[in-house]
Amino acid sequence: MLGAAASTALTGCSSSNSGSSSSTAAPGSKPGVATGSPVRGGTLTVGTIAEIDGFYPPSNHWDTNGFIYANAIYDPLMAVAADGTVKPYLAKSMTSNSTYDTWTLTLRPGVKFNDGSALTSAVVMANYSALKASPLTGVALNQVASVTTPDDMTVVYTLTGPNPTFPAGLTTQVGYIVGEAMIQQATSNPSAPLTPIGTGPFIYAQWQPNDHFTATRNPNYWRSGLPYLDSITFRPIPDTTQRESTLRTGGVDMIESVDPTTITNFSGSGGTGFQLVDTSTGVIGQPSFAFIMLNTAVPPTNDLSIRQALAKGLDQAAVQKVIGGPPAKPATGMFLPGSPYYSETDYPTYDPAGAKALVGAYKARHGTPTVNLLTIPDPLEIKVVQAVQQMWDQVGFDVTVSEVEQATIIDDFVFGKFQAATSYQFGAVNPDLNYVWWSTTTISPIGQIGLNFTRVNDPTIESALLTGRHTTDQATRVTAYQTVNEQLAKQLPYLWVEQYVFSEVGAGRVQNFNNPTLPDGTPQYAFDEGIFVPTQIWLAG
């Protein structure tokens, strides 16, 4: 999605580049980091956790898988470095005026799309116009008052107010640039399948939804000597056990996972011949969390006492045992201890007696509260929601469970067609990237596109978000985001479970899947939100 991954899997995500290694890794080396000379050629096949719904930034819902696919065929204007700073990618530079409300971006010369057209400011403007006009992505650009193109290589963004961290937004979905012919194709025939046109390391070759997506090496890629692979193929394999088995039998070369048991299964002797990277440590900024999301605009979850009862009736420790795997960090808010933004909140503790009392009071007024819990058809996910269903039934709720595919459930979030749902979200190097998920300006009526999925409408949160966005003083920013965290604990649109952990496992011959570099040669933030960059991956003999 636009700022941080917005998807569904209550089983493990954050953003890091550390992890565990097997005996395959050379002494002193890190998993996924090559120590030898790159070898050109070969095909990499990756088993992903889910399918995407398309490749067009203005209209498709990019979760973690969406960004993984996008990194094969597109490039962003800006990217996050390993130290957390935001640096140019397709941009050559990006600078602001003294008040941080005007930003000037200069493009790299000589960059071409795979259809031979040149990257110019006019193309960036066409992308911006399509993104701004989209009901899905336009709200992420609300702070942009205007965009001008003084010359072929310069783009000037004028904002509605100061934002010292504006470039970070161009590392997200709204910063990925597609060819103008693709925009014209989408405009002239919106219902027709789109052929992706990008500047990325690979060129779209074939996509059979729910089977595979293949891209081939871009022979004219603007980053000299890259990529190394001849082609890359992504295979969605939703079942974790099947995905792991396919890796072990050689059906794929890498897998991604959100199941904590994958970390256990590929650690120690179980990981012999494989390289494991996970996001349990090394987080830059704000990690992602697993949670149950509540819709504050539909009954009965529009009643604060019901949300309080659901929170008090949720045994976080018991849910974590169901999830299994290495112990993840529990969560009572959107920051972990050690973050400068962390603060203690009044988030409810497990209190089944208190939950029963709240449900009883509601029942006396309105009858037994009925809640539908939405999730995806993953075996572990089903075990989790069944446990939660039992907890809530025991305190007086009538709970049903529904399953939908991952791409479909994101639609349900966007249109507000849910009461409660399992989800993960919010990992970001800069908390401002989560503005669209909590802002009062991104709330829409049920059935209309709204990026504030929970429809939580809190002026105090909005005021704090704007303060955090506009200030250059770090102490003021800290106070602002602590206020947001505290208000979320009062409003309870999210019932927190734990820090969400992604893992990636590669066969021993897969090199550099955890070692991307930026165009200036400095290390890029590796495995951010479970997202890898295929540009520098190569296969050993």
Average pLDDT, integer, range 241-258: 97
Long-range contacts, stretch 39-43, CB < 8 angstroms, 24+ apart:
39/228, 39/538, 39/539, 39/540, 39/541, 40/228, 40/230, 40/538, 41/228, 41/229, 41/230, 41/539, 42/229, 42/230, 42/538, 42/539, 43/229, 43/230, 43/231, 43/232, 43/233
Task: Give yes or no for residue 13 having a pLDDT over 70.
Answer: no
Distances (CA, A) of 462 to 203, 330, 341, 419: 41, 26, 17, 23
Phi, psi of 107 (to 5 degrees): -85, 155
Average pLDDT, integer, range 392-403: 97
- Find out whether the peptide bond into 227 is cis, omega within 30 degrees of 0: yes
Phi, psi of 382 (to 5 degrees): -65, -40
Least confident of 72-76, 175-179, 357-361, 430-434: 430-434
Give 444: exposed, middle or buried? Use CB within 10 Å, 0-12, 13-18, 19+: middle
Distance CA 426, CA 285 (A): 10
Distances (CA, A) of 517 to 87, 89, 294, 521: 11, 10, 39, 6
Q: Residue 5 has what pLDDT?
A: 39
Residue the block writes with tokens 């690979």: 202
Q: Residue 304 has what pLDDT?
A: 98
Q: What percent of the chain has pLDDT over 90?
A: 79
Q: Residue 139 has what pLDDT?
A: 87
CATH H-level, domain 289-499: superfamily? Dipeptide-binding Protein; Domain 3 (3.10.105.10)
Task: Give yes or no for residue 326 having a pLDDT over 80.
Answer: no
Task: Give yes or no for residue 23 having a pLDDT over 90.
Answer: no
Task: Give yes or no for residue 10 having a pLDDT over 70.
Answer: no
* Reported confidence tier of residue 499, pLDDT bands at 50, 70, 90: confident
Task: Give yes or no for residue 475 having a pLDDT over 90.
Answer: yes
Strand bridging mode 102-107 / 91-96: antiparallel
Least confident of 27-31, 229-233, 336-340: 27-31
Task: Give yes or no for residue 18 having a pLDDT over 60.
Answer: no
Cross-strand partners of 506: 254, 275
Identify the architecture of domain 51-196 in CATH: Alpha-Beta Complex (3.90)
158 DSSP 8-state letter:
E
Distance CA 425, CA 293 (A): 10
> pLDDT tens digits, residue range 168-212?
999 999 999 999 999 999 999 888 889 999 999 999 999 999 999
Q: Residue 378 has what pLDDT?
A: 82
Q: How many CB atoms lie within 10 A of CB 357?
A: 16
Domain assignments of the chain as residue spans, ordered by start:
51-196, 289-499
Task: Give yes or no for residue 381 having a pLDDT over 90.
Answer: no
Mean pLDDT of the chain: 91
Three-state SS annotation for 288-336:
CEEEEEECCCCCCCCCHHHHHHHHHCCCHHHHHHHHCCCCCCECCCCCC
Average pLDDT, integer, range 430-453: 94
Q: What percent of the chain has pLDDT over 70?
A: 94
Find all residues with CB under 8 Å of 60, minimum gap 6, and list them: 52, 53, 54, 66
Sheet holding 420-425, edge to edge: 398-403, 370-375, 420-425, 289-294, 494-499
* Reported confidence tier of residue 327, pLDDT bands at 50, 70, 90: low
CB of 276 within 8 A of CB of 263? yes
Distance CA 417, CA 293 (A): 12
Task: Give yes or no for residue 365 having a pLDDT over 90.
Answer: yes
Higher pLDDT, 2 or 163: 163
Find all residues with CB under 8 Å of 321, minimum gap 6, and list them: none
Sheet holding 202-208, edge to edge: 202-208, 212-217, 231-236, 43-48, 254-257, 503-507, 274-278
> pLDDT tens digits, residue range 39-72?
999 999 999 999 999 999 999 989 899 999 999 9
520 DSSP 8-state letter:
T
* Reported confidence tier of residue 243, pLDDT bands at 50, 70, 90: very high
> 3-class SS at 89?
coil
Q: Residue 131 has what pLDDT?
A: 97
Q: How many CB atoms lie within 10 A of CB 115?
A: 13
> pLDDT tens digits, residue range 258-310?
888 999 999 999 999 999 999 887 778 888 899 999 999 999 999 999 999 99
Distance CA 410, CA 30 (A): 35
